[in-house]
Amino acid sequence: MRSNRATVRAGVSMAATLPMIAGALALGIPAAHAADTPARDTLAGTKPAWATAKADKGATADNAQVKARVYLAGRDAAGLAAYAKAVSDPSSPSYGKYLSAKKAQARFGATKAQVAAVKSWLKSAGLTVTEVTSHYVAVSGDVAAAEKAFGTQMHNFAKGSKTYRAPAKSASVPAGLKGAVLTVTGLDSAPHKSTHDDQLPPPDAVFKNSGPFSSYYGSNVATTLPDAYGQKIPYAVKGYTGKQLRAAYGAGSYTGKGVRIAITDAYASPTIAFDAGTYAQKHGDAAWKTSQLHQVLPKNYTKTKECGAAGWYGEETLDVEAVHAVAPSADVTYVGAASCYDDDLLDSLSKVVDKHLADIVSNSWGDIEANQTPDLAAAYDQVFQLGAVQGIGFYFSSGDNGDEVANTGTKQVDTPANSAWVTAVGGTSLAVGKGDTYQWETGWGTEKAVLSADGKSWTNFPGAFTSGAGGGTSKTVPQPYYQKGVVPKALATANSADGNRVVPDIAAIADPNTGFKVGQTQTFPDGTEQYSEYRIGGTSLAAPVIAAVQALAQEAGGGKALGFANPAIYAKYGKAGVFHDVTDKPTGTDLAVARIDFLNGLDATGGLATSVRSLGKDSSLSAVKGYDDVTGVGSPANGYVQSYRRH
């Protein structure tokens, strides 16, 4: 996720005001398609909200080219959603009765007859079928053929300063295919991709932290710098390691033995094996065993310049090293997408589900909810549901821009973390003290002020908001049943009287000022490539940490897959010793750390910058007693992993 150093955001381009379909209902049944005409069945949500009459620039040329995916609903879409809920709910008699990948496909996948019918319809319209998978039929062709197939005209529409193609009305399919088609993506030509918004140079250019540092929270107090909140403050930690995080989150003797974790990102670091092995050796983590780290990669990468491929290397490095630091015995499979576009990211998630590569999936990418389209939301939710019936849980970082107002001008949550079928992971600032003792956590939210010219005060203290854990209330996803009775009504009903999904569900360390140390091969100014270490944060750190803690919990439970974890997480809420109830003033006063940074990101030759970073200042979001929209139910306490033990 976006952070002070390198984490990544990917996602979905979308118009959030359209009705959600398929999995967007609150863990319920897909919405019925509206009847367009007696001969057609409308696919709700396939016309973007930005494709308005006012923005209409006229018809798209008939010979313009279209590439689209027709996602298959399967033989029992309603049954899939219902069974995914049942196997995930601890109060259900079907809890934990997972299906194999083969049985899940046989029970809920599309039939051969459905696939054949979809292909025949598309070909008869003049489109060329380019790929057929268990999830979709991909096609290409001209606009005239697409209009014939999907029963809508294609027009050009203004979207911001650019113009894109989109359906003039919602797409539809022949009535005979009702129930066979989930949705269609690709009819609009707006980019559906991840964004990569590092605040510092990407990992392919070397980055280092300047000192002084604290080795643990509070170990090195900045006695020569001005006070903050009436007291001297410590320097930021050099970067926590696995030993400290394991102690903070109650790992005990568990190591994730026998548990499989998958990590999805775009592209793949060419030095990951060396970097992960070197890092583990330098920081006392267990050495990687032969075949403990796997990579599942596409045949070809695309859009490498557009997506900033090298920038994703740091994300993979963080995810892999954080997972191994907290769960050193877990088997790790990295699944790289061919690009940062949603189609490719979806394919990576589908590989995990179709081949059941892992029980726990860490995903440190996303986008703002306003950029999500209902068609893509439906495709994502179908994959999450297929995972749930197999006992696979997905963990998504909640974002790094707080309520997103400073970033977008609009208060909103991030996606896919907003899905009712994933565990959204929020972020904290973590204080681990001497002897690896847990001290406290605040919600992650940073305000920054710089040292005055005379060195006697902080300019405009506490300064402006820079970053913080994403959270808040969805505008599009109804409230899932497992949040009822736990999430405060004021949060749930912020955008709808009926109640909506609130993000996040759980939280862990994310603040780059109390961050995690990673090691990565980077490019130095002289052109040499060398292993180097730096401190990093963001909810891109929180997600793999929680995924690793879930691996410890799965081991504690005898190896039984935890599956979609939210119902169980919320069922444990309020039980003594299970969660740290994170608040923004855990010591009774405001908190801050001092930082000195290299202006050039490498050394002191370019000068130094001294600043104070206030903790627990997350835009309009607040970490308060009980559930909140910064940290969810809280972070794992000493009793969390133990709570999964079978007695």
What would the pLDDT profile of 91-114 be if each residue is shown by its tens digit? 999 999 999 999 999 999 999 999
Residue 58 corresponds to which tokens in the numbers above?
């006229």
Q: What is the pLDDT of residue 311?
A: 86
Q: What is the pLDDT of residue 28?
A: 37
Q: What is the pLDDT of residue 308?
A: 87
Positions of E strands within 539-607: 579-580, 592-598
**Is a pLDDT exceeding 80 seen at residue 177?**
yes
Q: What is the pLDDT of residue 247?
A: 98
Among 173-187, 201-215, 390-404, 546-560, the range scoring the smallest mean pLDDT is 201-215
Number of C-beta neighbours around residue 249 at 10 A: 25
Question: Per-residue pLDDT averaged across 212-218, rounded?
Answer: 97
Q: Residues 577, 578, 580, 581: is their CA dihedral positive or negative?
A: negative
Higher-confidence position of 531 and 14 = 531
Determine contact, residues 547/541, Cβ cutoff 8 Å. Answer: no
C-alpha–C-alpha distance, residues 587 and 582, integer Å: 11
Q: Residues 566, 568, 574, 580: is their CA dihedral positive or negative?
A: negative
Q: What is the pLDDT of residue 192?
A: 82
Determine contact, residues 8/265, Cβ cutoff 8 Å. Answer: yes
Name all domains of the chain by residue range, CATH numbers in brackets: 242-642 (3.40.50.200)
Residue whose C-alpha is closest to residue 475's, from 16, 6, 4: 16
For 220, the 3-state DSSP assignment is: coil
Q: Where are the alpha helices (DSSP H) in 283-327?
A: 304-307, 309-326
Residue 9's pLDDT band (cuts 50, 70, 90): very low
Query: Omega into 462 within 30° of 0, i.e. cis?
Result: yes
* pTM confidence score: 0.93
Residue 174's pLDDT band (cuts 50, 70, 90): very high
Residue whose C-alpha is closest to residue 356's, from 385, 391, 319, 382: 391
**Is a pLDDT exceeding 70 seen at residue 643?**
yes
Question: Per-residue pLDDT averaged across 16-39, rounded?
Answer: 40
Residue 540 corresponds to which tokens in the numbers above?
């891109």
Exposed, middle or buried, 175 (CB in 10 Å: 0-12/13-18/19+)? Answer: middle
Task: Calculate what percentage of the chain has a pLDDT beyond 90.
Answer: 87
Positions of E strands within 143-243: 154-159, 162-167, 172-174, 181-185
